Structure 1
Amino acid sequence: MEILFDTMERLLSLTSLEIVRSCMDTIKWNRRLISLRGSRGVGKTTLMLQYVKLHYPAGSRKALYCSVDNIYFATHSILELAENFYKYGGEMLLLDEIHKYNGWSREIKEIYDSLPTLKVVISGSSVLNIINADADLSRRCRNHDIYGLSFREYLKFYRNLDFPVYSIEDLLHQAPEICNKVNEVCRPLSEFEKYNKAGYFPFFEDDVEDYYYTLQNVSNYIIEQELPSLCGIDSSYARKIKALLCVVATGVPYEVDLTKLSQMIGLARTTTLDYLQKLEKAQLLTLLYSDTINVKKMQKPDKMYLQNTNLLQAYSLRRPHIGTVRETFAVLHMRVGHSVEYGKEHGDFVVDGKYTFEVGGKDKSFKQIADIPDSYLLVDEIEYAVGNRLPLWLIGFLY
């Protein structure tokens, strides 16, 4: 066990507290069992290490972070580790990459039941299914989905500009004041363009091509390794799934014709729908429906997008359609903490069943949503809000 503490201390020494994401304060760390789920590269490991560094003194043996792909687990079980850690006064055990450990759910359940004062944090792939795990953990585990950087977090992470999270009501009703505050310290349109190209993942280092290469490697790992092992997707279909992502990335905002899409990538219709839903769980796609309350498990989505604008740039075979970039940005931010429906003929999106949004360029008019209450334009290429005409980048302050 000492080798795990040594490894943790080395990692903690390299972990900066200069920027701590706001989701740190929304995670229920005091629960006995929580999970952090998210795509590779969104910062789950950093969150866990920062929590240890913030709440336990250097050299403490009361908290232990380790990745379960450490060679230690070739000859030891996580149950054995937890029991030994608990015996010597351990309070919080943080287990990273839990999906790489066979039979993890049964041992986590045993830890939960037999060591009632030990807090356990597990992190894993966004496709990690706690509810359908081998042991029923759904009643025991509090799940937290971790996403990449919002536009607000990008400004903090890369530009050292600190703004609070705003509720959707605050953004809509205090838009002029918020826009003034942002414009006093930066040119939001310039930063917005940079964010959409290379700002979602917190590992951009000034080389866009290298960044996109890394994104493709991350998504390839999800498609070729995680989806087959965790979701039962046939690994021989990996090439077709990548082709599907390219199709979505290259076109205009994609209204789903499932039969045409199935023919295009060479998969059966039901298989294509199943794969779309699993790609959404993997945080590679976003699927929108026109009725989220009555949506059925095997109902086709009305519209779909790459999950974030950086993936859109990485997978597009040519310069992405500007309308697709705009809508992808809007959906990404509105979906965190809110329900979003496809608006069809009445605006692009309906949020929380109340607010209607139409997305477009600076010449966009209210024509399509003129008579709809609580309707707003999200407009690209403007810096300030005027009435219900809001800058598109403003929605990036929702999380």
Structure 2
Amino acid sequence: MQTLLHFQDILLHSVTNEFRRYLHDKINWNQHMIGIKGPRGAGKTTLLLQHLKYGLGPIKENALYITADHTWFYNHTLLDTAMEWYQQGGLVLLIDEVHKYPNWSRELKNIYDGIPQLKVIFSASSALDIYRGQADLSRRVISYTLAGLSLREYLMFTGTANFPAISLQDIKNHHREITLDITSKIRPLSRFAKYLQIGYLPIFTEGESEYLPKLEQVINAVVDTDLAYIASYNSGTAAKVKKLLGVIAESAPFKPNISALAGKLDISRDRILEYVYQLSDARLLNVLSVQGKGVSRLQKPDKIFLENTNLSYAIHTQPDPGNIRETFMLNQLINAELQVSEPETGDFLVNDIHVEVGGKNKTSKQVRNTDTYLIAADDIETGFGTKVPLWLFGFLY
């Protein structure tokens, strides 16, 4: 146990409280068992360590951070570790990357049921379905998802400016006043352009020139490691999934022809759909369907996007500006936990609002016959009427 405490002390030494992700204040930290999912590099580990160092108050000394791929688990089980920590006076156990531990769900259930006085907070890959493990955790764990940085958070993280999050209704009704206030303090367009390329994951602080190569490593790690643990991928399966991702990335966002993809990659139609949804679960893709359409994973999505714009720049040196705009919009809407679907007219239907995305000269031609619409226009600082600056949607969370 001393080995784990020493490992924790080393990690905590470099943890600061200067910047907290948006999710921190949304989590009910008093829950008995909490699960935090999210893409690699989004800051899950930092979130856990910040809570341990700054959020636990006097019981900090009774909290233990462990990572599920630590060598400690070569000859210890998760359940035994939790029991030993509790017997030594432990009250909180934080488990990082729980998906890398075999039988994680069964042992978490045993900990929940057998040590009710011990609070457990764990992180996991986006691809992990917490409620479909070998043991039923649906009544035991409260799950949260940590997305990549919003544009608003990127501005905070880089020390540029600190602005509050705004709602979609505020964008619809008050965007001009809001943008005039923001642009009186900063010039957003150049920072927005940089965010689209290298601002989604906090790992850009390790070096901007190394960010995109590291993002390629993240993609490989998600497929080769995370999905290998979760979906039992072998090397052959991983190679097929990467090939599918490459084919999708060449033209995303696009309306998929699953049969054509299956023929091109020599994979069955059902297998293509399985891989698409697994990549969506792993936060490498976003999928969009028509409102009211069933959510069966055997049904093809109406449109497929890369999950964030940084992926576009990692895979292509000069991605299409129109694709980047749509990818950004869907990413921010989904991360803000808004219900988004594919409309008959326009690019996105968000609640009852039709959203058309385009350049600064974009008109309302495609959506003007709908009841409620917004034009999200790129390359403008402020808008007027139903024309809203695209970058402002980066303040939704």
Q: Name the TM-score class by shorter chain.
A: over 0.9
The offset of 1:146, in angstroms, is 1.1
Name the aligned partner's letter for residue 326 of structure 1.
R
Residue 252 of structure 1: CA displacement? 5.7
After superposition, the CA RMSD in angstroms is: 1.7
User: Could you report, residue by residue, the CA deviation over 1:281-311 in whole angstroms, capped at 9, with x for unpaired residues?
Assistant: 0000001001255333311011111100001
Indicate conservation of the 8 Å contact 1:38/1:147, yes or no.
yes
Letter in 2 for 1:347: G
Partner of 1:119: 119
Shift of residue 248, structure 1, vs aligned partner: 2.7
Structure 2: gaps (5+ residues): none
**Separation in structure 1 between the aligned mates of residue 16 and residue 111 of structure 2, nearest angstrom:** 31
Partner of 1:28: 28
- Distance 1:154-1:120 versus aligned 2 partners, 3 A rule: same
Structure 1 residue matching 2:177: 3-state secondary structure: helix
Q: Deviations over 1:349-373 (max 9, x none)?
A: 0012x11100000111101110211
Greater displacement, 227-236 / 302-311: 227-236
1:396 partnered with 2:386:
no
Following superposition, the deviation at residue 241 of structure 1 comes to: 2.4
Partner deviation per Cα, 1:13-54 (whole Å, 9 max, x = no partner): 101111111210001211101111112111100000001111
**What is the aligned partner in structure 2 of residue 335 from structure 1?**
334
Q: Please report how far the alpha carbon of residue 322 of structure 1 lies from its aligned counterpart in structure 2 after TM superposition.
A: 0.7
The 2-side partners of 1:308 and 1:378 are apart by 17
How far, CA to CA, are the matches of 2:44 and 2:168 in structure 1? 25
Cα shift readout 1:210-251 (whole Å, capped 9, x = no counterpart): 211111111101112222331134530323322332333332
Query: Which is worse superposed, 234-243 or 105-114?
Result: 234-243
Contact 1:240 1:266 in 2 (8 A): no
Deviation at residue 198 of structure 1 after TM alignment: 0.1
Cα distance in 2 between the residues matched to 1:119 and 1:292: 39
Indicate the residue corresponding to 2:217 in structure 1: 217
Higher mean C-alpha deviation, range 386-395 or range 218-227? 218-227
The residue number in structure 1 matching 2:362 is 364
Q: Secondary structure at the match of 1:242?
A: helix
Q: Is the 8 A contact 2:155 2:161 kept in 1?
A: yes
2: CA distance between counterparts of 1:238 and 1:212?
21
Residue 394 of structure 2 aligns to a residue whose secondary structure is helix
The 1:75/1:296 distance shift into structure 2, 3 A limit, reads closer
Matching residue of 2:96 = 96
> Where does 1:91-240 land on structure 2 (aligned, <5 Å)?
91-205=91-205, 207-240=207-240
Contact 1:307 1:332 in 2 (8 A): yes
Q: Per-residue CA shift, 1:171-199, capped at 9, x if unaligned?
A: 21121121012211211110110000000
1:119 partner letter: K
Secondary structure class of the residue paired with 2:66: strand
Aligned residue-pair number = 396
The alpha-carbon deviation at position 3 of structure 1 amounts to 2.0
Deviation at 1:394, TM superposition (A): 0.6
Identity of aligned residues (%): 39
| 1:314-325 to 2 correspondences below 5 Å | 314-316=314-316, 318-325=317-324
Which amino acid is 2:363 matched to?
S
Q: How does 1:247-262 map to 2 (within 5 A)?
A: 247-251=247-251, 253-262=253-262
How far is the alpha carbon of 1:58 from its aligned partner? 8.9
Aligned partners of 2:93 and 2:119 also within 8 Å: yes
**Contiguous gaps of at least 5 residues in structure 1:** none
What is the match of residue 84 of structure 1? 84
Q: For 1:61-72, list aligned pairs within 5 A.
A: 61-72=61-72
Structure 1 residue 327: Cα displacement? 0.3
Instruction: Return the alpha-carbon distance in structure 2 between the equivalents of residues 114 and 59 of structure 1.
Output: 21
Amino acid at match of 2:20: V
Q: Tell me which residue corresponds to 1:287.
A: 287
**TM-score when scaled to structure 1?**
0.95
Cross-structure match for 2:348? 349
CA distance in structure 2 between the partners assigned to 1:121 and 1:205 by the alignment: 26
Moved more, 237-246 or 375-384: 237-246
- Aligned with 2:297: secondary structure? coil
Contact 1:306–1:328 (CA<8 Å) still a contact in 2?
Answer: yes
Q: Which range moves more in the overlay, 66-75 or 370-379?
A: 66-75
Q: Distance in 1 between matches of 2:290 and 2:176?
A: 31
Q: Is this contact kept in 1: 2:288–2:302, CA < 8 A? A: yes
**Which residue is 2:39 aligned to?**
39
Query: Residues 145-176 of structure 1: CA distance to partner in whole angstroms, max 9, x if unpaired?
Result: 11110111011011341111111111211211
* 8 Å contact from structure 2 (residues 252, 305) kept in 1: no
CA contact (8 A) 2:274 2:297 kept: no
3-state SS of the aligned residue for 2:360?
coil
Shift of 1:266: 2.8
Give the whole-Å Cα distance in 2 for the aligned partners of 1:300 and 1:140: 32
Q: Is 1:245–1:315's contact at 8 Å kept on the other side of the alignment?
A: no
User: 1:207: Cα distance to partner?
Assistant: 4.8
CA distance in 2, matches of 1:252, 1:161: 32
Tell me, yes or no, if the aligned pair for 2:150 and 2:200 is still in contact at 8 Å: yes
Shift of the alpha carbon at 1:138?
A: 1.1
Letter in 2 for 1:62: N
- TM alignment of 1:306-321, pairs within 5 A: 306-316=306-316, 318-321=317-320
Moved more, 189-198 or 103-112: 103-112
CA distance in 2, matches of 1:364, 1:268: 40
Alignment partners' CA distance in 1, 2:44 and 2:228: 22
Question: Matched residues in 2 for 1:334 and 1:133: separation?
Answer: 29
Do the aligned residues in 2 keep the contact of 1:252 with 1:321 (CA within 8 Å)? no
After superposition, the C-alpha distances for 1:51-83 in whole angstroms (9 at most, x for unaligned) are 111124599421111112122222222212211
Map 1:46-57 → 2, pairs under 5 A: 46-56=46-56
Equivalent position of 1:299 in the other structure: 299
Distance 1:68-1:237 versus aligned 2 partners, 3 A rule: closer
SS at match of 1:161: coil
